[in-house]
Structure 1
Amino acid sequence: MTLVADRPVAVPTPDTARTPLPRRLSVAVLLLGTAALYLWDLGASGWANAYYSAAAQAGGQSWSAWFFAATDSAGGITVDKTPFAVWVMGLSVRVFGLGPWSVLVPQALAGVGSVWLLYAAVRRWSGHHAGLVAGAALALTPVAALMFRFNNPDAVLVLLLTAAAYATVRAVERASVRWLVLAGALVGFGFLTKMVQAFLVLPAFGLVYLLAAPTSLGKRIAHLCAAVGAVVCAGGWWVAVVELIPSGSRPYIGGSQTDSVLELALGYNGLGRLTGDEVGSVGGGAGWGTASWSRLFGSEMGSEIAWLLPAALLALVALVWLTRRADRTDRTRAAALLWGLWLVVTGAVFSLMDGIIHPYYAVALAPAVAALFGIGAVTVWRDRGDPAAIGFLSAGIAVTALEAWLLLSREDTWLPWLAPLVLGGGLTAAMAVVFVPVLPRVAGRAVAVVALVLCCVAPGMYSVATAAQAHSGALPSVGPSASSGPGGGGGRGGMGGGGMGGLLGAPTPSAELSAAIASGADQYTWAAAVIGSNNAAGYQLGSGVPVLALGGFNGTDPAPTLAKFQRMAANGEVHWYIASSFMQGSTGSDDAHEIAEWVAQNYEATTVGGVTLYDVSR
């Protein structure tokens, strides 16, 4: 026993007893429902993000391309991320063949796995019901329904970080260095998925173990040092291998200006994201929204993640308050710190970074928001005899109803009755819950169930509406209307270039053009070359043969230089150059555009399927 809020309560212990059949059935329903939401009509999105689909295609054709996460099987240039998510998709393509399902299913399964691991992590310290609510809240978060049906690396990253949180929970329980090292290794593989973003959870994991693990301070520090070593080894081995291989013997590192993974990790995908100083970018901070503490609630990210965010923040305050006098190893406070620091640190970085940020990044917040919502709701309900707890519960229901009303008010025509229903019903439930301590037990539970349903119905229906839409392009977004952001969609009719001049959308080549590109492709290293990775992805997926992405994703990488491309053309390594309109970055290399000018000046143009080609092999 320990004192919490001036009165004795039992310290929560791990919920590790054999699970009764009804509870197992409820978990099965949760996971089957999640699978249905994430897998239903999954192929409607086609190649989704063609950039990563092309890399998966390349990995399915060449083990070398798979290892480096090259965008084509000949190994011209890599994606501008570390390779783990592409490895998963590439293995799926090798096993099941190339198709939308083989590319997208790994992310859907990652979503189901994330829900299961979140349930398991929350259940151990807060019980079955808290775990169930947390898992359902994650499954019904709109940005989760978007990204677990899409093939960006974020889905795999969330799975790895949620697994790392579960391992941290296990480590804290018995001061287990093995579980803590596993948590570090999982975060390391998170780095191999989306670089330094994975490290945003490390303050939460490290501080919780340092404060709550039941062993001496010296051992806690030693265990954390071992975990840091696991992070470095798991995340650094691939970087070391790539850096040690001479640049001419591997693909160029996409997104870098010096052909270096370290530059990519620390610059373009590292500090550059915080400061906006991203060499090779086509937009920077000025093009991706204004840094602000309100960013997560604004028009850019609000519909993605903000539905339960106010309740999660209020739950964090409530849990810290109710455990303010608890022992150092108190599990409820440890859970609040684990998920709360994850939310606060990651949310602060997303809110204040000046570099490129996309709304769907908010999926990295979803496990923490869902965990705090589930733990907070069940904890204050159990402690509902305390006026402070019932006040937190009532306030949480009210702010959730208000936030849902604000978000739904942005939709002009979609379910216009839902916003007033949620607001009116939620505020009524918030008032009714105040009287729960004096109501009959059955009536009190009915009020709680109604309140929970009202809190989840808006994000749940918005998630279903999101899943019902096909999404493609580089910038998918949530909601009842099909949207892929600027440049979304797959291009039109075989014309060269997707959205924003081929930067954010991939073209869909005609059958005639695809046949022309594929004709005699085995005589060349690359059947074609075109500026920009999305342009190359569209033509490669359409033709099934390697297409070189000049300049990488933004067209600003010095890969290849003009001089090198001239040698490649002279040696007969490239068959076609495909003309396209591609926006030019303000920083980085201009080699790709210099190549375009040189080709136009020195080779004869021909038109196939409405697209201009140059035979540079002659």
Structure 2
Amino acid sequence: MLEREAPTPLSPGVDLPPPPTNRRGGTAALLTAAAALLYGWGLTRGAPHFFYSAAVRSMGESWTNFVFGAVDPGGTITLDKIPGWLWPHVALVKVFGLHDWVLLLPEMLAATGTVPLLYAAVRRWAGDRAALLAAVGYLVTPITFRAAQLNLPDTLLVFCLVAAAWALIRAWRRPGWTALLGPAVLLGLAFQMKMLQALLVLPAFALAYLVGSAGPMAARLGRTAVFGTVTLAVSALWMVVVSLTPPGSRPAIDGSPTGSVWEMVLAHNGTEHDDRAAGTFGGAPGPIRLLNEQVGTQVSWLLPLALAALVVGVAGARRDHDRDRLAGWVLWGGWLLVAGSAFSQVYGMHPYYTAMLVPAIGAVLGGGLGTALAAWRAGRPLGWLLPAGVLGTAGWAVVLLLREPVGLDWLAVVVAVAGVAATALLLVARRGHGSRAAEPPDVTGARPGPTAERPDPTAARRAPAVAAGAALVAGVVAVLAGPAGWLLSTPVLEPGSPQIIDPVAGPAAFQRIRQEALNGGSAPRVNPALLDYLTRHDGDEATPRDGGEHYLFAAGESGTAAPYIRAGYTVLPLRGFALRSPRVPVARIERLVADGRLRYLLLIDRAGPMVDPATAGWLRSHCAVVPRTDYEPDARPGPWDPTLYDCRR
């Protein structure tokens, strides 16, 4: 198979020449600028995640905290995840300071950078117009916009995966195994962003290389094995470093009662994540989860057309015996189908996880539409998937817009009219194209007289062209207006909003429906009354006898401590985010109190897994309860509110 560095044409039968090179660069630049404007605007409407913002502040306190991802400045316990995606945040905070916009800047940059990367990857595989469609599809999908408004790992994960896909397409066109090092390292870097989720694309990547690369099968298998080995080695690098570090020289590992980083990554964030107790933020698992009320409006707008494009594209590549094109379909289609199937089945899935699907949806959409258009114009049966896909996508958008009362009924009408019009105009354009193709040529050379009844050939050509242009405009509205309107209606993300825990895009009415479905609640925030009480009663007396660090208070778990840590206070978490995480032993608590480094403890003391029985027993016998009315007279305590203990009374 010959090596091909130039992008292939969009599809057989599309008779427009490729645009000049300078126009290609201009298109990518315009798309990148549009992404920067969109996600820059989104940055001003976002809010940092309380928990991960605390970790960023703590990780900046020391190299040990930075490497291991400590949640608290004292380095008591880590995050329950690999901290790789937060390393850029810490670096930027060191440069610009700990501000909300700085905490969101890496997501904005990653979301923006994904657009030219996706454009370049798809252009290398399927041409310029396919690349344009892929990038636009990425830009208008609502969940990519919302995910970039919080300091969550998904946006950086997507950036790394798209970079790896670009490098892989380049690698299968080059001889030898060294070209595979780039995509392998990038895929391993994606693992540092979000662990096992990154490896959902590994089967598609490996099979795509086998299909697209040249040489004997044995050699291709060997190179693929090298690719997989390097990927897994880079993925495991942080875990190996943690495992080789003595426990006394690093924070305790959240997510593992035994302190095993392997258990934290592979069990807590892997096999045990598929747990019914983990919640159903994304709705009940099942084959139609990506279409349900929780997830459908976030990612599924373009799915009908993308799936139609996938069928047409694979069939076209097989018919033309184009291994390079088929390898791309294996890459992007496999990414979409494998990851989509996984998200459809796991418990504890948040809708924003599906941001990982968006580049694959865009690539499949862009790569297949040209082939579908060619099949439609040529009169092949598969061509019927083009109008069916457009009409089905418009119909699905109408369902999404009307399924719940969110105030976008007018947009549903626009999409419905555009979908019907686009389908009808496609039929008109095809009929005109077919009649021109069937018209016998005039081989006599005779000139028709002034009274000839032969129709004007210019008019005959103009009508289908006008219909085709109108179909394009109507099709763009039918396919893109729904997701774009949903995205742009997304309100500002307020601090303390439950959207910080389970972010979704969409109108304010949709946000309220989601909050009610999750039984209200809010993200943890600093309690000003409690903070004022603690600083007034403890601030001036904080004189540790051993010269060690003084804690404002100890919290029952790291989630309660996080808002105060983010605000600049030193708080001791008694355990991590996960219930099955190491706990600070009673002996250490007793020693900290005796040394004057700790006075107050704030935790839920009800019986159950939230509290260590030994800690609760020690508190009751050595410390006094501070009545809630002492610091918040008008509060109405709930059964699960934490209790404040004073260990100097």
Q: Within 1, Cα distance between the matches of 2:362 and 2:135?
A: 7
For the 8 Å contact 2:118–2:359, the answer to whether it is kept is: yes
- What one-letter code is carried by the residue in structure 2 that aligns with 1:455? V
Q: Deviations over 1:267-297 (max 9, x none)?
A: 11111234x27xxxxx236786322001110
Q: 1:149–1:467: 8 Å Cα contact kept in structure 2?
A: no
Q: How does 1:417-566 map to 2 (within 5 A)?
A: 417-437=410-430, 438=432, 439-466=463-490, 468-470=492-494, 472-481=499-508, 505-509=524-528, 512=532, 515-516=535-536, 520=542, 523-524=548-549, 526-542=551-567, 544-566=568-590
Map of 1:305 onto structure 2: 299
Q: Name the counterpart of 2:5.
A: none
Greater mean deviation of Cα atoms: 548-557 or 247-256: 548-557
Partner of 2:624: 604
Deviation string, structure 1 residues 574-594 (Cα, Å, up to 9, x no partner): 343224589955xxx742x65
Kindly provide the amino acid, as one letter, of the partner of residue 614 in structure 1: Y
How many Å separate the matches in 2 of 1:399 and 1:318?
A: 15
Matches within 5 A, 1:205-220: 205-220=205-220
State the match for 1:284 in structure 2.
278
Structure 2 gaps, min length 5: 3-8, 433-462, 634-641
Asked if residue 151 in structure 1 is aligned to residue 151 in structure 2, the reply is yes
Q: Which has the larger radius of gyration?
A: 2
How far did 1:600 drift?
4.4
Report what 1:348 is aligned to: 341
Q: How does 1:2-17 map to 2 (within 5 A)?
A: none
Cα distance in 2 for partners of 1:455, 1:600 equals: 63
C-alpha deviation, 1:371, in angstroms: 1.1
Q: Which residue does 2:407 correspond to in 1?
A: 414
**Cα distance change of structure 1 residues 187 and 575 upon mapping to structure 2, 3 Å threshold:** farther
Secondary structure at 1:256's aligned position in 2?
Answer: coil
Describe the SS at the equivalent of 2:283.
coil
Q: CA deviation at 1:42?
A: 2.0
The answer to whether residue 40 in structure 2 is matched with residue 45 in structure 1 is no
Deviations, residues 196-218 of structure 1 (Å, cap 9, x unaligned): 11110001100000111122222
SS of corresponding position for 1:574 = coil
Tell which deviates more after alignment, 240-249 or 340-349.
Answer: 240-249
**1:478 Cα deviation from its structure 2 partner:** 1.6
Contact 1:175 1:220 in 2 (8 A): no
Do the aligned residues in 2 keep the contact of 1:469 with 1:482 (CA within 8 Å)? no
Q: Which residue of 2 aligns with 1:28?
A: 29
Distance of 1:11 and 1:219 partners within structure 2: 31
Residues 516-570 of structure 1: CA deviation (Å, up to 9, x unaligned):
576649852543221232211111122x023222321144423224444334434
Change (3 A) 1:33 1:570: same
Instruction: Provide the residue aligned with 1:385 in structure 2.
Output: 377
State the Cα distance separating 1:161 from its structure 2 match.
Answer: 0.8
- Residues 446 and 431 (structure 1), Cα distance of their counterparts in 2 relative to 1, 3 Å cut: closer
Q: Deviations over 1:130-180 (max 9, x none)?
A: 111111111111110010121111111111111111111111222453332
Instruction: Indicate if the aligned counterparts of 1:58 and 1:90 stay in contact, CA closer than 8 A.
Output: no
1:29-75 deviation digits (Å, cap 9, x = unpaired): 211111111111524433x3111111111122222211111111211
Q: 2: CA distance between counterparts of 1:441 and 1:486?
A: 46
Q: Which residue of 2 aligns with 1:368?
A: 360
Partner letter of residue 475 of structure 2? A
Match in the other structure for 1:493: none
Change (3 A) 1:49 1:285: closer
Q: Which residue does the alignment assign to 2:638? A: none
Q: Summarize the Cα distance change of 1:583–1:301 in structure 2 as closer, same or farther, 3 Å threshold.
A: farther
Matches within 5 A, 1:194-213: 194-213=194-213
User: Aligned partners of 1:330 and 1:485: how far apart in 2?
Assistant: 49
Identity %: 34
* Residues 569-578 or 74-83, more deviating: 569-578
Distance 1:245 1:62 in 2: 16
Partner of 1:129: 129
AA matched with 1:301: V
The residue that corresponds to 2:224 in the other structure is 224
Cα distance in 1 between the residues matched to 2:360 and 2:267: 27
Aligned counterparts of 2:348 and 2:144: Cα–Cα separation in 1: 20
The two structures have a TM-score, normalised by structure 2, of 0.83
Q: In structure 2, how many angstroms separate the alpha carbons of the residues matched to 1:398 and 1:299?
A: 21
SS in 1 for 2:601: strand
**CA-to-aligned-CA distance 1:475-497 (integer Å, 9 cap, x gap):** 112211188799989xxxxxxxx
Output the CA distance in 2 between the equivalents of 1:536 and 1:121.
43
1:499 deviates by: 7.5
User: Judging changes above 3 Å, is the alpha-carbon distance between structure 1 residues 295 and 434 closer, same or farther for their aligned structure 2 residues?
Assistant: same
Shift in alpha-carbon separation, 1:508–1:381, aligned structure 2, 3 A? farther
Q: Unaligned regions of 5+ residues in structure 1, if any?
A: 3-7, 278-282, 490-497
The alpha-carbon distance between structure 1 residues 480 and 413, as it changes in their structure 2 partners (threshold 3 A), is closer
Q: How many residues align?
A: 585
What CA distance in whole angstroms lies between the structure 1 residues aligned with 2:388 and 2:493?
34
| TM-score, normalising length: structure 1 | 0.87
Contact 2:404 2:510 in 1 (8 A): no
For the 8 Å contact 1:11–1:330, the answer to whether it is kept is no
Q: Is the 8 A contact 2:426 2:467 kept in 1?
A: no
Shift of the 10–579 alpha-carbon distance from structure 1 to 2, 3 Å rule, reads closer
CA-atom RMSD in angstroms: 3.2
Whichever residue aligns with residue 110 of structure 2, its letter is A
- 1:164 aligned partner: 164
Q: 1:136 to 1:467 in 2, by over 3 A?
A: farther
AA partner of residue 407 (structure 1): L
| Mapped contact 1:157–1:198 kept (Cα < 8 A) | yes
Q: CA deviation at 1:411?
A: 3.7
